[in-house]
Amino acid sequence: MRNMSDIIEQYLKQMIAESKNEVVEIKRAQIAEKFDCVPSQLNYVIKTRFTNELGYIVESKRGGGGYIRITKIETHKKADYLEHLLNLIGDGLSQTNAMHIIQSMYDAEVISFREAKIIDTVIARETLMIGLPKRDIVRAQILRNIIEVILYEE
Give residue limits of the domains in the chain: 4-72, 75-151
The architecture that CATH gives domain 4-72 is: 2-Layer Sandwich (3.30)
pLDDT computed for residue 2 by the predictor: 73
Burial of 102 (0-12, 13-18, 19+ CB in 10 A): buried
For residue 43, pLDDT over 80 is answered with yes
Question: What is the per-residue pLDDT across 118-147, written as a single tens digit (0 to 9) for each?
Answer: 999 999 999 999 999 999 999 999 999 999
State the pLDDT at residue 94.
93
Condensed to tens digits (0 to 9), the pLDDT of residues 57-94 reads: 888 877 666 788 898 877 667 888 888 888 889 899 99
pLDDT of 53 strictly over 90: no
What pLDDT does 32 receive?
A: 86
* The two domains 4-72 and 75-151 share their CATH topology (first three levels equal): no
Q: Where are the alpha helices (DSSP H) in the chain?
A: 4-18, 28-34, 39-49, 78-88, 95-107, 113-123, 125-128, 134-153
CA dist., res. 121 & res. 113, Å (int):
12
Question: How much is the average pLDDT of 96-109?
Answer: 90
Q: How far apart are CA 64 and CA 54, in angstroms?
A: 29
Q: Are 73 and 81 in contact (CB under 8 A)?
A: yes
Domain boundaries 75-151, CATH class = mainly alpha
Model pTM? 0.65
Count CA atoms closer than 13 A to 89's CA, side-chain side: 26
- Alpha carbons within 13 angstroms on the beta-carbon side of residue 142 total 23
pLDDT of residue 146: 95
